[in-house]
Amino acid sequence: MNWTTETLRSGIALEVASDDHGVMGTPGTWYRVRQGERVSSATRNRGDALRLFQRRVRLVSGA
């Protein structure tokens, strides 16, 4: 399973993987957030991943 990564200048990344063969247990699209070496657990819920991503970006930016 290959993760596609989109990284901001702040170093926070939203990663997406397509799991067609059920490697992660349930086939489908998986999401996770990476900040340096810190990686969130993978989730099938895109909304949860985006909220975590936005929360980390706000913390880093000081907003």
pLDDT of residue 35: 92
pLDDT of residue 61: 82
CA separation for the pair 34, 41 (Å, rounded): 10
pTM for this predicted structure = 0.83
Residues 53, 38, 62, 50: what is their CA dihedral angle, to the nearest 10 degrees?
0
| Residue numbers of the chain with a pLDDT score lower than 70 | 63
pLDDT of residue 46: 94
